[in-house]
Amino acid sequence: MVSKETVRTVMIAEKIWEKKTKESHKHRSRRPRKDFFGEMSQFDGSYHLRFEDRGEEYCLLLDIDDAT
């Protein structure tokens, strides 16, 4: 059995495969934080069975405020 790296190396040598070059990418600049509480809230929720799977399904909500 031949490893995939060996196959890739042979394909590059035979001009079947083009070697990928690492692209230099610009780092995104961070945006400034909001000035006041509540200007930008992010919510996420996930559903779980609670009480050892004997009860109903509940949704756990998370709120992150970017200003604080």
Q: Which tens digit of pLDDT belongs to each residue from 26-64?
A: 777 877 777 777 778 888 999 888 777 777 888 888 888
pLDDT tens, position by position, 1-29: 889 999 989 998 998 988 777 776 677 78
68 pLDDT more than 60: no
**42 beta partners:** 64
**Of all helices (H) and strands (E), which one includes residue 8?**
helix 4-13
Q: What Å distances lie between residue 36 and 22, 39, 41, 44, 61, CA to CA?
A: 41, 6, 11, 21, 22
Dist. CA 17–CA 42, nearest whole Å:
44
Domain boundary assignment for the chain: 36-68
Q: Which residue has the tokens 């919510």?
A: 43
